[in-house]
A and B are shown apart, each in its own frame.
Chain A
Amino acid sequence: MNVYIIGIGLSAPKKISPEVSFREMIYEAAEKAYLDAGIEPKDVDTFVSVSEDYEEGTAIFDEYVPDQLGAVLKPVHTICADGITGLASVFAQIKTGHFKIGVIEAHSKLSNIKHHFHVHAMALDPVYVRPLEVNPYFVAGLEMGMFLDSRGYDELDTAQVVAKNKANALLFGRSPFGSFISPEEVLLSQPVSDPLRELDIAPNADGACVIVVATEEIAKERRGDLIKIAGIGFAEFTPNIERWEGDADYLRVAAQKAYSMAGIRNPLNDVDFAEIDDTFSYKELQHLEAIGLARFGESADLMREGFYDLSGQLPVNTTGGNIGNGNLSLMNGLRAVYDAVLQLRGDAGNVQLENPETALIASWKGLPSSSGGVLILRREG
């Protein structure tokens, strides 16, 4: 039994959003998603939200999920993971045959956190790592250094990711973070945790996203192209950062499952474009290699040749990724799914690709985690 995305809704990413509460912001995304899907929330059988208490500043944030989704007195639960892993939860529920329509929600109010790195610090191991009292960005700095060393890359290699994504974002026009910037200019930005610099880091943003998923039967009642979830996978590597080898193993495992489900043997051939987590610039290259969209040590060269440009063989982060759209924390994966659906439907405006059919979306839970998910979407009809 196949499962389809039938509706998407977004409260567009902004630097700050003081005029709306998180409830009002999510309501906007939900309204849009239900309108797009042609349903009412009372038609929905199950709701999943992704959130983490410490980012909300609320214990058991799950309590505050149902109202703005129209999900009161319905099956609702929270998954503490990235957006694609949350979507996998809805996908699995529908596959049991007991649910016909499901909804996944994610949002960010990062602007409401006064000292974000203090929240990040709470995720560091309390016995072995936190007492070192180093700004948590060091984890990204260390991993970036390890990644660059192991591949023989340099900082210009990762800086080109920033240039590409900010340019795509500027072209697409939705985000406040788009700009024309050269890789050399990236290297002039403030060092944060060598070799990581300020411009290597996706800037925090607020927003909300709701996606509606349904069975084939219900999807076929709608007009327009069908967007099928052809494959999905998710995995955890290890929270012990000392064990990391710079390879994003969590995506390798997740991708295996997604490819297997989608019947994809050669991703470079079968995938038309990809939306890949780039919360830190090096992550885009690391993730591309982990999921086989580049061989080990080749992603930087491919990027330099324009392989991943909008006009290239395999466009990556067509609307700008997280660097171009903002770091929306657990919502990053869903924002990427949203943009992938826009592409597949032909609604991607200035960054529209020609007739894309198969999209790959890869998300990462964010600093300092080692978990993520991979999604393959196929347009039918």
Chain B
Amino acid sequence: MAQKVAVLGAGLTKFMRRAKETGKELSFEAARMALEEANMDISEIDCVVMATAPDMFDGVHMKGDWLSDGAGAKRKPYMRSYVGGGSGVFAIIHGWYLVASGLFDTCLVVAEEKMSSTMPHPQGAFNAIYDQFLERPLGVNLLWIFSLEMMRYMHVHKIPLETIALVSVKNKKNGLDHPCTQKGIAGNYTVKDVLNSEVIAYPVHRLMVSPVTDAAAAIVITSEHEAKRRTDKPIWIEGVGWCLDTSYWTNRDLYYPKYVEYAARMAYEMAGIKDPRKEIHVVEPYDPFAYKELHHLEGLLLADKGEAPKLLEKGFWDRDTKDGIPSCPSGGLLGVGNPIAAAGLMKVIEIYLQLKGEAGKRQVRREVKRGLAQAWGDLMQVGTVVILSK
């Protein structure tokens, strides 16, 4: 039967547009920091899991193997999982099943992304995500898929652009309080600033898009008996869920992320949660684009379809809300940066810190006992969800 699994330590590097450090060095720094907090040595780690998004960023095939030494995996059981952008939250799910299976007692979970290596621009690496037969020949572009989805979402629910811009405003302001925030990303923006920013692919404006980032994140997770003997304040993994929809994304109505709902339901069931709106006290949904946070909050069943934007206008998702559910208190990808896999794990770490009461200036106002982190990935396809509690 499943063992209970806890998070004991977390590490993050700065989020940078261009890091001097290599991917291996970034992984090492984050891993070292997580081990330090957990008061553990690498020799006490039974297995290592790595999450990192497209190999094309680093320009290294079998990137997982290449990064393994930076992640402390020499002569250890090691696996790299890959669900595109969902990988950062999947990383903790991956570590969870390895420990919950009883096969391993301790696991080091590392997420790395070094996007700056790709020339001329990391965005180009995303061309190859599209179908090679029917889509790539059209001269596709990563932004298309987001702008097409955003347009559909706005159209079905009649959401004004101003409301979506509020997400950028909220998250970029929250990001000012995150110590790792990428330079030039966070700030006190207004809705007007966001809507005045360059239209890159209508309806997406530049300030609604998260940046390209290099960074790494890591956490240490252990089985229940290891956790209990090492700490008084373990943070438990209560539920996990993940779900992948069809690759035929043009056959789906993009206004609603069903795959996020299914992943969330799986996690809620595992955690015994019947009423998520009451039982989830803080949430970190994936926000690579401003509208995505709202899209995902609805998929997570924390708001009815089409309602998340209205709640946003009312301050329901604000960090200092008393009756609402604070969303992206970290600042999210819009406010801290988007090193794809590391960004997802950063969100998990944020929930961990919030539950421990160690989020400093970002600590939410309301009392929190249970939090949820979610990531998205692939071609508008993957939802990965983890629920932590204290």
Binds B, one of A8-16, A75-83, A283-291: A75-83
With A235-B76, A235-B77, A236-B78 already in contact, the answer to whether A62 and B55 are too (CB < 8 A) is: no
Bound-complex Cα distance A242 to B165 (A)? 52
In chain B, what residue has the closest Cβ to A366?
B62
Could you mark each residue 229-257 of chain A with 1 if its beta carbon is under 8 Å from any beta carbon of chain B, else 0?
00001111111100000000110011001
Give, as a whole number of angstroms, the nearest-CB distance from B360 to chain A: 33
> A87-95, A182-190, A295-303: which one contacts chain B?
A87-95
The residue on A at minimum CB distance from B74 is A238
Asked if A119 is at the interface (CB within 8 A of a chain B CB), the reply is yes
Is the CB of A71 closer than 8 A to any CB of chain B?
Answer: yes
- Which chain A residues lie closer than 8 Å to B100 at the CB level? 96, 98
**Number of residues from A at the complex interface, CB < 8 A:** 62
Which residues from 50 to 82 on chain B have a C-beta closer than 8 Å to any C-beta of chain A? 53-56, 58-66, 68-69, 73-82
Bound CA span A131–B54, Å: 22
Complex Cα–Cα for A77 and B86 (A):
10
In the complex, which residues of chain A have a beta carbon less than 8 angstroms from the beta carbon of B266? 75
> Per DSSP, are chain B's interface residues mostly helix, strand or loop, or mixed?
mixed
The smallest C-beta distance from B85 to any residue of chain A, in angstroms, reads 8
B279 interface contact, C-beta 8 A: no
- In chain B, what residue has the closest Cβ to A54? B61
From A77, A96, A120, give the contact of B82 (CB < 8 A).
Answer: A77
**Which of the candidate stretches B169-177, B350-358, B376-384 sits at the interface with the other chain?**
B376-384
Q: How far is the CB of B196 from chain A (nearest CB, A)?
A: 33
Q: In the complex, are the beta carbons of A95 and B102 less than 8 A apart?
A: yes
How far does the Cβ of B48 sit from chain A's closest Cβ, in whole Å?
A: 8
* Chain B: minimal CB distance from A113 (Å): 11
With a CB–CB cut-off of 8 A, which chain A residues contact B259? 73
Inter-chain contact B247/A98, CB cutoff 8 Å = no
Q: Indicate with 1 or 0, residue by residue over A208-248, a CB within 8 angstroms of chain B CB atoms.
A: 00000000000000000000000001111111100000000
- How far, in whole Å, are A374 and B38 apart by their CA atoms in the complex? 31
Which residues of B sit under 8 angstroms from A150, Cβ to Cβ? none
Are A75 and B79 in contact, CB atoms less than 8 angstroms apart? no
Check A58 for interface membership: any CB of B closer than 8 A. Answer: yes
| Interface membership of A125, Cβ < 8 A | yes
Bound complex: CA A249 to CA B83 (Å): 29
Q: In chain A, what residue has the closest Cβ to B84? A: A60
Chain A residues with Cβ below 8 Å from B53 are 60
Cα A79 to Cα B83 in complex, Å, equals 9
Q: B265 CB to closest chain A CB, in angstroms? A: 11
Residue A123 is within 8 A (CB to CB) of chain B in the complex: yes
Residue A85 CB within 8 A of the other chain = yes
Contact A58–B132 (Cβ < 8 Å):
yes
A59 to B378 Cα, complex, angstroms: 9
Contacts A66-B247, A240-B69; A253 near B76 (Cβ below 8 A): yes
Contacts A97-B2, A237-B75 given: A75-B242 contact, CB under 8 Å? yes
Closest 7 CB pairs of A and B: A122-B61, A95-B101, A236-B78, A59-B128, A54-B61, A76-B244, A92-B101
Q: Given A123-B62, A365-B62, 16 other A-B contacts at CB below 8 A?
A: A54-B55, A59-B54, A59-B56, A59-B126, A73-B244, A78-B82, A79-B80, A81-B79, A92-B97, A96-B3, A122-B59, A123-B66, A235-B78, A239-B65, A253-B76, A368-B62
